[in-house]
Structure 1
Amino acid sequence: MPHILIVEDETIIRSALRRLLERNHYQVSEAGSVQEARERYSIPGFDLVISDLRLPGAPGTELIRLAEGTPVLIMTSYASLRSAVDSMKMGAMDYIAKPFDHDEMLQTVARILNEPRQTPAAAVSAEPAPQSPAPVEGEIGIIGSCPAMQDLFGKIRKVAPTDSTVLIQGESGTGKELVARALHNLSKRAKAPLISVNCAAIPESLIESELFGHEKGAFTGAVAGRTGLVEAADGGTLFLDEIGELPLEAQARLLRVLQEGEIRRVGSVQSQKVDVRLIAATHRDLKTLSKTGQFREDLFYRLNVISLKLPALRDREDDVLQIARAFLKRQSQRMGRGEMRFSPEAERTIGQYTWPGNVRELENAIERAVILCEGQSIPADLLGVDIELEELEDEDFAERPGPEVGGGHEPTEDLSLEDYFQHFVLEHQDHMTETELARKLGISRKCLWERRQRLGIPRRKSSAPSNS
């Protein structure tokens, strides 16, 4: 069981974080300052140190030296993000902003513990390995053997060595940040910082100051000048996740960075040059947003130099079980559960479910199943997904004519099967669940979903109770 040291002077935060980690099967020790941590523990003996940046006495960055190679995760407020970037340059593995999201904290901790013990600069290579793409985690760091992912890996290798701006598009949870990390790690900037910013997570009133910095007195509370995150990424890569949420005024400033290679801090009249490679990501349709005035059209075309499309998990049928088994191995090792496996029913469920939350939903489902499972074989019901087990008796569920239903809507010579399907679904979906619709039509829920997509039939907004 991994042993984690928390160094945080605020008792409420320290206790809450301890409970979160202990619930997820980590052994936890705690201290209120660097001095207390030194006196009570052998810091290099821990698997991970999580420390607040600002502590009484010595700052949290002092633990990087004392840890002697043990990874250190720095916690900081948004107002101190620039200092967190400095801490990464000093050797911290990563930083996380307070107040942190529980899932984000757990994912960050799991990722750090699964990485080899080395400094961030040594963990990447400026040159990709000269070998053919592997279907599992390797040089790219992403699992995927299906044709769509192999095509994506080929594009990453071609694009990574350049300084071209890249726009990564894909649904939430598909792994856009992993693609950004791969582009950075395989680039000539690999030894420089990769600064990741979630544009949707920073308050709109702070985002310009955080990205571009500000001068002393630029606004109320600006008691000192501050370097922005764009400037902190100088020489490296800036990854702007959820760029579609960026306010229009900040978009104009970002456009200047792309066009002129320079920034101007909030409240300043002086510009300064920066050498930054920009990678952006979004789950939104920026082209449509630009036509409605919600996103700058000129910025869209500047971002859309190289566009990489991440397929949804439902379109990666060959990869789903491979990814699920990798997550199962990782979670069972992390929780000290030994070698676990999926039951045949669980594997069929994983293959049949459409995973609307994509890889993130799959990972969370498996983590929950590992926690709740009492034996070594995970049953299908512990995955907690909305799919009827009786539909999984045959993976190649035969499409057969549905039984007669009320209303006299049998197919006729004047009505094709697709017309009949569309007519039936539109008429009955307001009072029947997806499972009932699929059963009446004699098809699986997966087939129902695929036909909806092909015929452009949207699902109703909410599931009404069945009248049957």
Structure 2
Amino acid sequence: MAHILVVEDETIIRSALRRLLERNQYQVSEAGSVQEAQERYDISSFDLVVSDLRLPGAPGTELIKHAGTVPVLIMTSYASLRSAVDSMKLGAVDYIAKPFDHDEMLQAVASTLAAPRRSAANDTAEDEPEARTSEAPSQVADDIGIIGNCKAMTELFGKIRKVAPTDSTVLIHGESGTGKELVARALHNLSKRAKAPLISVNCAAIPETLIESELFGHEKGAFTGANAARTGLVEAADGGTLFLDEIGELPLEAQARLLRVLQEGEIRRVGSVQSHKVNVRLIAATHRDLKSLAKQGQFREDLYYRLNVIELRLPPLRERGSDIIAIARAFLQRQSQQMSLDNISFNADAEQAIEHYSWPGNVRELENAVERAVILCDGKEISTELLGIDIDLDDDDTPSLSSAEKKPSRSLEPTEDLSLEDYFQHFVLEHQEHMTETELARKLGISRKCLWERRQRLGIPRKKSSTSNA
């Protein structure tokens, strides 16, 4: 059984992490600071050290000096690349941003324990971490052409590489703006059809009265205005790949025609009595739940099962962690080059805003925000205001508790297993009397807007006190 030392000054987080690790068959010891860890334990005797970066007294990276060959995993509330780079230059084996997901933490611990130990404390402190973190801002899978280094994206890249060489139909799920067409393009480029055309069609952008003609073509005189025969987009993709985006918007009649393409490999133009063969690989994408639509009679169930041979899920931008800032920097570099501008960068507040904003419009919204910021920027630094995503909130924007609603202040040392929301709630209730909103958000590693949103969701209105004004 691996023995792990957890060094964290926040009792709630430390206790929750201890129980999480113990439930997964790890032996755990605790300390609240570097000094306490040194006084109570032989640090080099552990299999892994998991430490917060910001601790009272000395920072968590000080433990690296005393750990010998024991790997040190750094937790940081400031999920910035700068903190990660600095930690790994000093010899940390990896870092994880708080608040972390339980699965994310367990994966980091497992992968760190499975990796070979360093032969000496500083063998890789200058070389390997430097090389690893230098790639972080632009983690592009070269064969796929998509930036991504988070767990969900690396798993997606693996599936793309497996599926691409086949002719199987693929259904891509993802919110609008997540880059579903990029996935379709990667599938095409890595397939044996790469030299043939990739035809992309947004089913939501074509009027319902024209969609069948656009997709399957028509004969001369098939309808008013059909003055000549026309080849459809399915036929144009013969030998290659047809990508149907927002396929959930396809009318039922067109769905029946598409089903014939998948079942029989043939099409019939509108107004024609003859069918002819086509060799097309179909990739479809949607942000809707096609299975539910099928149950409601709004989507053909037989077509759904034909489409859903291989399902790929593209995570929303807000779930992609450090990928967000990497993508933003890539957009910044590209936009700067297009405008012949040099040395433009995001300031610290802008980077924090980018990391913590929820990005409801996903990658498309981020790209537009960066483009706007570069155009409006008069100097060398891009501020949060230029991005148009000011996530800070005035104190007056948050509701206060009436005297009847106020709860007595009490110590909240947890006695039960805590989820992320549990320890968030405990932490806020314990500290909001003596910490400002800014301090609470900073300690939790989230933005003030995110803090406010979680208060609303969990029903924890702010308490007004003499120290609550930020």
Match of residue 164 from structure 1? 168
3-state SS, counterpart of residue 171 of structure 2: strand
TM-score between both structures, scaled by the size of structure 2: 0.59
Answer yes or no: is 1:340 the counterpart of 2:336.
no
Deviation at 1:248, TM superposition (A): 0.7
Q: Would you say the 8 A contact 1:255–1:299 is kept in 2?
A: yes
- Change in Cα spacing, 1:247 to 1:451, as seen in structure 2 (3 Å) is farther
Closer/same/farther in 2, CA of residues 452 and 239 from structure 1, 3 Å limit? farther
1:355 paired with 2:355, answer no
1:131-181 alpha-carbon deviations (Å, 9 max, x no partner): xx9932521010001111000000000000000000011000000000000
> Offset at 1:444?
3.3
For normalisation by structure 1, the TM-score amounts to 0.59
- Structure 1 residue 287: Cα displacement: 1.0
Runs of 4+ in 1 over 2 A off after TM superposition: 407-413, 416-419, 441-453
Distance 2:453 2:187 in 1: 33
Aligned residues of 1:193 and 1:236 also touching (Cα < 8 A): yes
List gaps (5 residues or longer) in structure 1: 1-132, 392-401, 423-434, 458-468
Equivalent position of 2:255 in the other structure: 251
RMSD: 3.4
Whether 1:408 aligns to 2:412 is no
**Of 199, 205, 226, which residue of structure 2 is paired with 1:201?**
205
Residue of structure 2 in register with 1:189 after alignment: 193
After the TM superposition, which of the residue ranges 158-167 and 403-412 deviates more from structure 2? 403-412
Instruction: Output the CA distance in 2 between the equivalents of 1:135 and 1:374.
Output: 29
Deviates further, 156-165 or 219-228: 219-228
- Give the Cα–Cα distance (whole angstroms) in 1 for the partners of residues 388 and 369 of structure 2: 7
Q: Contact 1:244–1:282 (CA<8 Å) still a contact in 2?
A: yes
What is the match of residue 296 of structure 1?
Answer: 300
C-alpha change, 1:407 and 1:169, in structure 2 (3 Å) is farther
Shift of 1:403: 9.6
Describe the shift of the 1:345–1:275 C-alpha distance in structure 2 as closer, same or farther (beyond 3 A). Answer: same
Higher RCO by CA contacts (8 Å cutoff, separation 6 or greater):
2
Does the Cα contact within 8 Å between 1:215 and 1:226 map onto a contact in 2? yes
Q: Distance in 2 between matches of 1:234 and 1:211?
A: 12
127, 136, 143: which is aligned to 2:140? Answer: 136
> 1:254–1:390: structure 2 CA closer, same or farther, 3 Å change rule?
same
Amino acid at match of 2:201: V
Report the AA paired with residue 327 of structure 1: F
Are 1:368 and 2:372 counterparts? Answer: yes
Q: Helix, strand or coil: the match of 1:317?
A: coil
The alignment partner of 2:322 has SS state of helix
* 2-structure distance, mates of 1:403, 1:362: 30
Percent of residue pairs identical: 73
- How many angstroms apart in 1 are the aligned matches of 2:161 and 2:455? 35
> Residue 311 and residue 208 in structure 1: after superposition, are their counterparts in 2 closer, same or farther (change >3 A)?
same
Q: Structure 1: which amino acid aligns with 2:333?
A: K
Q: Secondary structure at the match of 2:213?
A: helix
**SS of the residue aligned with 2:340?**
coil
What letter matches 1:289 in structure 2? Answer: L
Residues in 2 aligned to 1:187 and 1:449: alpha-carbon distance in whole angstroms: 44
Instruction: Summarize the Cα distance change of 1:276–1:146 in structure 2 as closer, same or farther, 3 Å threshold.
Output: same
- Quick check: 1:349–1:389 contact (8 Å CA) kept in 2? no
Matched, 1:285 2:289: yes
1:85-131: CA deviations, max 9, x gaps? xxxxxxxxxxxxxxxxxxxxxxxxxxxxxxxxxxxxxxxxxxxxxxx
For 1:168, the aligned partner's letter is I
The Cα offsets for residues 278-313 of structure 1, whole Å up to 9 and x where unpaired, read as: 000111111111111111111111111100000000
Pair 443,371 (structure 1): closer, same or farther in 2 beyond 3 Å: closer
Going from structure 1 to structure 2, the CA distance change for 1:249 and 1:386 (only over 3 Å counts) comes to farther
Q: CA deviation at 1:448?
A: 5.0
Structure 2 residue runs of 5 or longer lacking an equivalent are 1-135, 426-437, 460-470
Confirm whether residue 231 of structure 1 aligns to residue 243 of structure 2. no
Aligned equivalents of 2:360, 2:300: Cα separation in 1: 29
Contact kept, 8 Å, 2:357 with 2:389, in 1: the verdict is yes
1:330 alignment counterpart: 334
CA distance in 2, matches of 1:404, 1:326: 41
Name the CA distance, whole Å, in 2 between partners of 1:145 and 1:452: 31
Question: Which deviates further from its counterpart, 371-380 or 443-452?
Answer: 443-452
Aligned partners of 1:329 and 1:339 also within 8 Å: no
1:451 shift after superposition: 7.7
Alignment deviations for residues 365-414 of structure 1 (CA, whole Å, 9 cap, x no partner): 000000001001111111101410789xxxxxxxxxx996126223479x
By how many angstroms is 1:217 displaced? 1.2
| Closer/same/farther in 2, CA of residues 248 and 321 from structure 1, 3 Å limit | same
CA distance in 2, matches of 1:157, 1:195: 20
- Look up the match of 1:75: none
Q: How many residues align?
A: 299
1:387 correspondence with 2:391: yes
